[in-house]
A and B are shown apart, each in its own frame.
Chain A
Amino acid sequence: MNAAVHADGLVKTFGQTKALDGLDLTVKTGEVHGFLGPNGAGKTTTIRILLGQMRADGGRISLLGGDPWHEATELHRRLTYVPGDVTLWPSLTGGEVIDLLGRVRGGLDPRRRAELLERFELDPRKKCRTYSKGNRQKVALVAAFASDVELLILDEPTAGLDPLMEAVFNECVLREKRDGRTVLLSSHILSEVETLCDRVSIIRAGRTVESGSLADLRHLTRTSVTAELIGPALGLAALPGVHDLTVDGARLRCQVDGDALTAVLAELARAGVRTLTTQPPTLEELFLRHYEGAAR
């Protein structure tokens, strides 16, 4: 079996609310898998089921070839986890927490630990109560990256990190991938997922709505362009890869496929540009488009 994680039709209800409603997820061994969805979509619930901290009400699940509920302790030797909201013991120092988490997992590589502390610019002598959210996250990340495991489960791990530290994080994940480890990366930041992941699963309201390689989902990565022009850009509507074009006087808005950007910018330059804003689509826009597509 070459799937590190295989979930099939997971269902989990809390009272009246259905947190998971038939969720499917397959993470192949050795890949970095992006787990995308808006807040409240069920990412954390899925991860808690994977960690044996919650039991699914329905569906089947296997983790590293075992049952995450019944064989939790054995399976946990082979994985490491960074929660989305890291809370630590206020009276312990960061270094003490890293070593505690490392030791219960069977020890960690002291050289890698020192290297990671330096790269993440984390002072391990500070008490955890004095750390900011980002620094608490770094403690959990150092403990995770310094341990020798097959699978890393990371739940929105960059939420509190600044851009510099995000770059360090990205390098660390790519290094894990080079070493043949499997990473499940939950996120709601599309650009992060695009940089790191081989395949992604997109979930919404407890259900998987898209799953596949990034190339498969290329249609999802359109750039949104807003421009104020000096003259009319008449050729734009005819260009391939331009969608949802609206013109309001001198203001223009459209969605552009990645490979059509060069042609679009050339056309805009010809008309003369006063202001220009481009931004990757937000996840919500993607979902909206996905559901519009399904309705048609």
Chain B
Amino acid sequence: MNPLELAQARPGPAFTVTLDGREIEALPGQTVAAALWTAGITSWRSTRGEGRPRGVFCGIGVCYDCLVTVNDRPIQRACLVPLRPGDAIRTQEGTGHDG
């Protein structure tokens, strides 16, 4: 059993997005966080101070821990942003404005 089977989901065809250039499959309706979790990835940001890895914490847009760069826009909350075919996700280092 997996969550898609439990809810008897019939999503549209999967599409490809990239994480730091590497191709990842995503489903229509998935957020950035959901697609990354499904691909087995749980961290995509390093903190400004200690450079520690972070990913989803609150899952509802309150904690800002899951920040990520999507199509060159930094500081996006991965748990809120839905994916579209061809989206380029980049892991965010520090403030996301360092280049």
**Do chains A and B stick together as partners?**
no
